[in-house]
């Protein structure tokens, strides 16, 4: 007696084509749409190129530059606090 084929979704997994053809640089609307798609369908629903494009867009925002400079200042202050005091 032969066994019936089991329905195993992993065997049928095929990577999806990109959601849309991506135009670089991204606009805020496209980034919002891609992020909403990723929240709904999971991080594997976007291509690595789409992930990179989202990060590139976010990195170029002025508020990101300000945030990064504050973080760099905090890291520098933390490193300075860990250095032993110089003896006179």
> Residue 33 pLDDT > 70, yes or no?
yes
Listed in sequence order, the residues at least 6 apart from 51 whose beta carbon sits closer than 8 Å to its beta carbon are: 43
The pLDDT assigned to 4 comes to 67
Please tell me the pTM assigned to this model. 0.56
Dihedrals phi, psi of 10, to nearest 5 degrees: -60, -35
Percentage of residues in the chain with pLDDT exceeding 70? 74
Picking from 69, 51, 49, the residue whose alpha carbon sits closest to that of residue 61 is 69
**Per-residue three-class SS string for 23-75:** CCCCCHHHHHHHHHHHHHHCHHHCCHHHHHHHHHHHHCCHHHHHHHHHHHHHH
Q: How confident is the model at residue 67 (pLDDT cuts 50, 70, 90)?
A: very high
The pLDDT assigned to 71 comes to 95
Residue, of 13 and 53, whose pLDDT is higher: 53
């Amino acid at each position: 007696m032969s066994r019936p084929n089991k329905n195993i979704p992993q065997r049928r997994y095929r990577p999806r084509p990109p959601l849309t053809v991506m135009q670089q640089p991204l606009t805020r609307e496209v980034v919002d749409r891609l992020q909403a798609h990723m929240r709904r369908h999971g991080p594997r629903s976007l291509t690595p190129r789409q992930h990179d494009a989202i990060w590139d867009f976010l990195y170029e925002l002025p508020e990101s530059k300000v945030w990064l400079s504050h973080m760099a200042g905090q890291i520098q202050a933390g490193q300075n606090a860990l250095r032993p005091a110089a003896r006179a």
